[in-house]
Chain A
Amino acid sequence: GAVVSQHPSRVICKSGTSVKIECRSLDFQATTMFWYRQFPKKSLMLMATSNEGSKATYEQGVEKDKFLINHASLTLSTLTVTSAHPEDSSFYICSALLLNTEAFFGQGTRLTVV
Chain B
Amino acid sequence: GEDVEQSLFLSVREGDSSVINCTYTDSSSTYLYWYKQEPGAGLQLLTYIFSNMDMKQDQRLTVLLNKKDKHLSLRIADTQTGDSAIYFCAESRPGGGADGLTFGKGTHLIIQP
B-binding residues in A (CB < 8 A):
1, 4, 6, 32, 34, 36, 41-44, 46, 49, 93, 95, 97, 100-108
Query: Which residue of chain B is the closest to A94 with respect to CB atoms?
Result: B42
In the complex, are the beta carbons of B99 and A49 less than 8 A apart?
yes
Instruction: Produce 1/0 per residue, B27-44, CB < 8 A to A.
Output: 000010101000001111
Alpha-carbon separation in the docked complex, A59 to B43 (Å) = 21
In the complex, are the beta carbons of A43 and B98 less than 8 A apart?
no
Alpha-carbon separation in the docked complex, A43 to B102 (Å) = 9
In the complex, are the beta carbons of B105 and A43 less than 8 A apart?
yes
Collect the chain B residues with CB atoms within 8 Å of residue A103's CB. Answer: 33, 45, 97, 100-101
In the complex, are the beta carbons of A43 and B99 less than 8 A apart?
no
In the complex, are the beta carbons of A43 and B42 less than 8 A apart?
no
In the complex, are the beta carbons of A108 and B97 less than 8 A apart?
no
Alpha-carbon separation in the docked complex, A104 to B46 (Å) = 11
- Which of B45, B98, B103 contacts A44 (CB under 8 A)? B103
In the complex, are the beta carbons of A105 and B44 less than 8 A apart?
yes
In the complex, are the beta carbons of A102 and B42 less than 8 A apart?
no
A31 shortest CB reach to chain B, Å: 9
Chain B positions 57-100 with a Cβ under 8 Å from a chain A Cβ: 88, 96-100
Query: Which residue of chain A is the closest to B6 with respect to CB atoms?
Result: A43
Q: Could you give 29 example pairs across A and B, Cβ below 8 Å?
A: A1-B45, A4-B42, A6-B42, A34-B100, A34-B101, A36-B103, A41-B8, A41-B105, A42-B105, A43-B88, A43-B105, A44-B103, A46-B100, A46-B101, A46-B102, A49-B99, A93-B42, A97-B98, A100-B96, A100-B97, A100-B98, A102-B45, A102-B48, A102-B97, A103-B97, A105-B35, A105-B43, A105-B45, A108-B42
Does B20 make an interface contact (CB < 8 A)?
A: no
Alpha-carbon separation in the docked complex, A1 to B45 (Å) = 10
In the complex, are the beta carbons of A105 and B42 less than 8 A apart?
yes
